[in-house]
């Protein structure tokens, strides 16, 4: 499975070429406002199978189906519950994915064997242009090798998928930096399956009550298949520590001669041989934009361990902490 991957600036000509590739059953990585996605024709089991192969993704982990517009929902969803309309109008296009009953047109390969389908209308102009040009739903997981941090730059996609896909559309860094929020609309109240670019506070203000997944791991994995798999992990060991404890925490490994990174949200007046400090933005929006890129960058510097100080769990901070916990586990 080796091919020449075209790496193209995402101008109009590149987008129409990419749309042809999608229509022919091929694979195209493209920017969305959250992270880069690895797209294929969502209604073609053969095309979607290639996504799983390129990413080395477990077959049971379902894909998100991307639409150009909410008025295309009927193409992929069997029934659109009434309360979906308000939430779609408020958050689409944008970083929210809704889990709904699957239309039979969507192959089980796309939904990981489930009778539900996850759907999102992305806001990024390149994603929009590609969906319009391909004029069909596009299944797209994050465009990383399975288990690696999601790509927020075209360069990250190249690191993971070069030689395995037809085209990478480079549309610059993605503006949100963490994946979409996944909300299961088949339960009452709706269940938050994955925190993401739309915050819990925003969802609650629109829907009233939102159910959080219980911490019971089996129940959680049954509802949200993605939780079963290792995620967001660079090669280095990630250690999540309390805010303000970084200086103490890194000492033992440094004394053992290891290369250690420390990610904090504050100034640090502490230098040691072998220590790399990364000061992350104080606002959660800025932190989210830099999170995955920083993990990849530290990894490429061959760190043995990355110590990360916990941040406040409100707004996007909840999403960031979710990703850090998964990366650390």
The contact set with ligand TXA (CB under 6 A) reads 32, 34-35, 37, 61-64, 95, 97, 99, 111, 114, 116-118, 120, 140-142, 179-180, 182, 193-194, 224-226
CB of 38 to ligand TXA, least distance (A): 8
Q: Cα 201 from chain centroid?
A: 20
What, of ligand TXA, Mg ion, none, does residue 128 touch, CB below 5 to 8 Å by kind?
none
CB of 238 to ligand TXA, least distance (A): 18
What, of ligand TXA, Mg ion, none, does residue 39 touch, CB below 5 to 8 Å by kind?
none
134 and 22 in contact (C-beta within 8 Å)? yes
What, of Mg ion, ligand TXA, none, does residue 181 touch, CB below 5 to 8 Å by kind?
none
Which residues fall within 8 angstroms of residue 158, CB to CB, at 6 or more apart? 5, 7, 168
CB of 328 to Mg ion, least distance (A): 17
Q: Cα 46 from chain centroid?
A: 23
153 and 293 in contact (C-beta within 8 Å)? yes
Residue nearer to ligand TXA on the CB measure, 149 or 246: 149
Positions that interact with Mg ion (CB under 5 A): 142
Residue nearer to Mg ion on the CB measure, 111 or 142: 142
Burial class (CB in 10 A: 0-12, 13-18, 19+), 111: buried
Task: Note the residue count of the chain.
Answer: 329
What, of Mg ion, ligand TXA, none, does residue 174 touch, CB below 5 to 8 Å by kind?
none
Which residues fall within 8 angstroms of residue 215, CB to CB, at 6 or more apart? none
- Tokens 């477990």 found at: 58
CB of 78 to Mg ion, least distance (A): 25
CA distance 329 to 318: 17
CB of 277 to ligand TXA, least distance (A): 29
140 and 38 in contact (C-beta within 8 Å)? yes
Q: Beta strands 36-41 and 138-139: pairing type? A: antiparallel
Residue sitting closest to Mg ion (CB): 142
Residue nearer to ligand TXA on the CB measure, 38 or 264: 38
What, of ligand TXA, Mg ion, none, does residue 118 touch, CB below 5 to 8 Å by kind?
ligand TXA
What, of ligand TXA, Mg ion, none, does residue 87 touch, CB below 5 to 8 Å by kind?
none
Residue nearer to ligand TXA on the CB measure, 64 or 88: 64
First-residue to last-residue Cα distance in the chain: 31
CB of 131 to Mg ion, least distance (A): 19
Residues linked to residue 305 through DSSP beta bridges, in sequence order: 237, 260
């Amino acid at each position: 499975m080796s091919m020449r991957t075209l790496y193209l600036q995402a101008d109009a000509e590149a987008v129409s070429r990419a749309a042809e590739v999608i229509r022919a059953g091929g694979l195209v990585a493209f920017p969305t406002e959250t992270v880069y996605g690895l797209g294929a024709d969502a209604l073609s089991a053969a095309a979607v199978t290639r996504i799983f192969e390129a990413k080395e993704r477990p077959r049971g982990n379902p894909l998100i189906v991307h639409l150009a517009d909410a008025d295309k929902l009927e193409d992929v969803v069997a029934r659109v519950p009434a309360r979906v309309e308000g939430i779609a109008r408020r958050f689409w296009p944008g970083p929210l994915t809704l889990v709904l009953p699957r239309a039979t047109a969507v192959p089980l390969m796309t939904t990981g064997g489930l009778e539900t389908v996850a759907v999102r209308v992305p806001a990024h102009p390149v994603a929009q242009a590609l969906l319009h040009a391909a004029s069909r739903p596009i299944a797209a997981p994050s465009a990383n090798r399975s288990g690696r941090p999601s790509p927020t730059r075209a360069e990250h996609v190249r690191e993971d998928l070069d030689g395995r896909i037809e085209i990478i559309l480079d549309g610059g860094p993605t503006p949100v930096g963490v994946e979409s929020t996944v909300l299961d609309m088949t339960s009452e109240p709706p269940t938050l399956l994955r925190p993401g670019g739309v915050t819990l506070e925003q969802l609650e203000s629109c829907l009233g009550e939102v159910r959080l997944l219980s911490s019971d791991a089996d129940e959680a994995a049954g509802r949200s298949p993605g939780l079963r798999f290792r995620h967001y992990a660079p090669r280095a060991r990630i250690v999540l520590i309390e805010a303000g404890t970084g200086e103490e925490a890194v000492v033992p490994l440094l004394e053992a001669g290891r290369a250690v990174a420390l990610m904090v949200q504050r100034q640090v007046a502490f230098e040691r041989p072998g220590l790399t400090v990364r000061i992350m933005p104080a606002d959660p929006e800025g932190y989210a934009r830099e999170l995955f890129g920083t993990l990849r960058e530290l990894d490429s510097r061959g760190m043995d361990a990355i110590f990360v100080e916990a941040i406040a769990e409100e707004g996007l901070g909840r999403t960031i902490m979710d990703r850090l916990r998964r990366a650390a586990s």
